[in-house]
Amino acid sequence: MLLKKYYLRRLTRLEPPYFIAMTLIFLVQVMAKTGPLNMLIPHWLASLIYSHDLIYHHTPLITVVAWSLEIEIQFYLVAPFLFRILELPATARRLLLLLAIILIICYQVICPPVFLNITGFAQYFFTGILLADFYVNNTAAAWFNRKWVIPASLLCFIVICYLPLKNPMLPAFQNFITRLSLCLSIGLFYYMILKNSSLKKLFSFRFIPIIGGMCYSIYLLHYSIISFAGRFLIKLPSTGHYLPDLLLQVVLLCIPVLIISSFFYYFIERPFMSSKWMDMLLKKDKNVS
């Protein structure tokens, strides 16, 4: 019963905004004639069933960012079974999760996945489970709520940003260490924020939780908005210097992304955030009839 409720909640929460966003983007591409209709339709349908990478072995054509949601759906399908590991004693489950992270990274280094799927990113999901375990059990909370954690978190963030994960020339062992360091650094960085009162206060400042609340809408739409608006903004006069031009483009592109995503969130995504939306819809239909 609980498993059925879990899958139904994932379905009713994520699918409607996703279907609507993908269909809107598809229709815009049809009107803009970005490709022949007989090519766009199969790619659109493949994305609707979260199988584009599986079928075509490349990132989705309708909106490239949808690749990560396809992997996320794969995780949602197996998550209830993976979380059974938390029933084990603390030391055993944590060692097992760490071993799973190490083994999946070894697999990625030795046998890189031929297309995007959960096996190429499973270490991050295992890290998330490990993070949830530490957080719920309040592990070393007092130790992480100290002043030294603030500069340590900054160092951790720099490590995350500058690890050469995309370097194809890395030797196998260095590739393994890089992937493992990235994975553990992300988990540690999140735990520092969650358990350090100063960092938690900083990341709770006004617009950050608001942006976080709209992250699904922003995720679905941002690439298409940037692709469209960027065609006009790129024609603006430039300084001839990379950094100021980049910052200007970022600021200007954030405006349409946030405005359009806010409307989508308020009118499309937000109504589906209620677990009762189907009941309310059916009740409204009955009242109308």
pLDDT of residue 100: 97
pLDDT-based confidence at residue 280 (cuts at 50, 70, 90): low
pLDDT-based confidence at residue 288 (cuts at 50, 70, 90): very low
pLDDT of residue 168: 77
Of all residues in the chain, what percent carry a pLDDT higher than 70? 96
Rounded to whole angstroms, the Cα distance separating 31 from 270 reads: 27
What's the pTM? 0.88
Q: Is the pLDDT of residue 60 over 80?
A: yes
pLDDT-based confidence at residue 265 (cuts at 50, 70, 90): very high
User: Cα–chain-centroid distance for residue 239?
Assistant: 34
Q: CA-based Rg of the chain, rounded to a whole angstrom?
A: 22
pLDDT digit string (tens) for 208-257? Answer: 888 989 999 999 999 999 999 988 888 888 888 888 988 999 999 999 99
pLDDT of residue 289: 47
Q: Is the pLDDT of residue 186 over 80?
A: yes
**What number of CA atoms fall less than 13 Å from residue 82's CA on the CB side?**
20
pLDDT-based confidence at residue 42 (cuts at 50, 70, 90): very high
pLDDT digit string (tens) for 83-131? Answer: 999 999 999 999 999 999 999 999 999 998 888 899 999 999 999 999 9
Rounded to whole angstroms, the Cα distance separating 266 from 246 reads: 30
Length reported for the chain: 289
Question: Domain residue spans in the chain?
Answer: 1-86, 88-204, 207-288
Rounded to whole angstroms, the Cα distance separating 183 from 250 reads: 27
